[in-house]
Structure 1
Amino acid sequence: MELTIIGSGTGAPSKTRAYPCTLIKVKDKHLVFDTGPGSLRQLLLAGVTYADVDYIYYSHFHPDHSLDLVSFLFAMKYDSPVRTKPLYITGPCGLHKFHQGLVSVYGNTITPKTFDLHLEEIERGVLTYDGWKITAEPVRHSSQSIGYRIESSAGRTIAYSGDTDYCEGIILLAKNTDLFVLECSFPDDKKTEGHLTPHLCAQIAQKAQCKKLILTHFYPVCSEAIKNNANLLAELKIIYDGEIVIAEDFDRFEI
């Protein structure tokens, strides 16, 4: 599997971090997790077109994680490149209502004409595909937020938190994973309900015993705090003894 951080930022605009979006490639399939504003272009810069994407998974429907679904569906009506293969979209409870709301506003401009669109809602459980499986578990953010665990047929594992606070759900998803993509929204002295801080992230990673922790989803205040604290990684290593990466847009990892 190959993981690419498409956008490592949040809903607050940043000159260096795009809105949340993560790409995982399993064999020849492209799996996209969340599509914040501008994700379509970010993916193109990473070498992936809207015609390449096979599956989109949503952690929740806040605008910074979902707004570019409109852009995806609108772009796919054009014939360069034309899309003919199905698009599968999975998300928490409310996905159908979310999509229906978009269609009520944008109508035929986002209605597929050359391919089939499949929507699937999941609260928790396992979805099995040809070459990988996905496990979903509720996490502590919005009333319908979920995180994901991706496991290839070769046994490689990645956990993706979406937005979350400290909770057992995200620890369960990340247990013994090869890569753990975890939100880290605010510095420790500015903890906000529904989000994590660097030290809480380290605690979760240690409890989950993941092999590599990839911190992402930084509000500008958190990016600045990390930049100004040269000892932060050393402090986190006292809590979590695995590898820690402060993600940047277009960082790529292979397992």
Structure 2
Amino acid sequence: MEVSILGSGACFPSPARGASCTALRVRDSYWLFDVGEGTQVQLQRCWVRPSKIDKIFITHAHGDHAFGLPGLLCLIANGRPKNAPPLEIYGPHGLRAFIRVSLSFTGTRKLPAYVVHELHQVPPSSSIAS
């Protein structure tokens, strides 16, 4: 296993410190935890291959943890084989609607196959510090 902090700037990212994102390599697979804005740029600066991202976990529904997701899905689609298993996305209730609305609004067509697992009965984001 290998871990890389791609961003820890929370809601105040800077040129030297991106919004929240952590990458975990598990064998030949990459798992991302939170994908704030700028995650695509941070991925280009490290060892994570976007086409090998298999799981994304959104810890809570603050923008600095999720606003990078729609663009990241497009980046993943660019190199991911068509026959690859679906990308698995885990997060709080409402994540599926966020993804659908974002992608519909932008008219995005090129996406990897993905499945959203919404977790229920978790504390609301208002009770979690960013």
TM range (shorter): 0.7 to 0.9
Contact 1:103 1:111 in 2 (8 A): no
Q: Note the residue ranges of structure 1 that are not aligned, 5 or more in a row.
A: 125-137, 144-163, 165-193, 196-255
1:142-196: CA deviation from partner (whole Å, max 9, x where unpaired): 26xxxxxxxxxxxxxxxxxxxx3xxxxxxxxxxxxxxxxxxxxxxxxxxxxx35x
List aligned pairs for 1:1-255, cutoff 5 A: 1-78=1-78, 81-84=79-82, 85=84, 86-107=86-107, 109-112=108-111, 115-123=112-120, 138-139=122-123, 141-142=125-126, 164=128, 194=129
Preserved CA contact (<8 Å) 1:76 1:83 = no
How far off its partner does 1:14 sit? 2.2
Long gaps (5+) in structure 2:
none
Higher relative contact order (CA closer than 8 Å, sequence separation 6+): 2
**What is the number of equivalent residue pairs in this alignment?**
128
Q: SS state of the match for residue 102, structure 1? A: helix
Structure showing greater radius of gyration is 1
Q: Is the 8 A contact 1:40 1:49 kept in 2?
A: no
Give runs of ≥4 in structure 1 deviating > 4 Å.
Answer: none
TM-score in terms of structure 1 length: 0.45
Change (3 A) 1:87 1:36: same
Question: Matched residues in 2 for 1:16 and 1:116: separation?
Answer: 32
Identical residues among aligned pairs (%):
33
Question: 8 Å contact 2:4–2:23 — kept in the other structure?
Answer: yes
**Counterpart of 2:17 in structure 1: which amino acid?**
R
Please report the TM-score for the alignment, with normalisation by the length of structure 2: 0.83
Q: Structure 2 counterpart of 1:14, which letter?
A: S
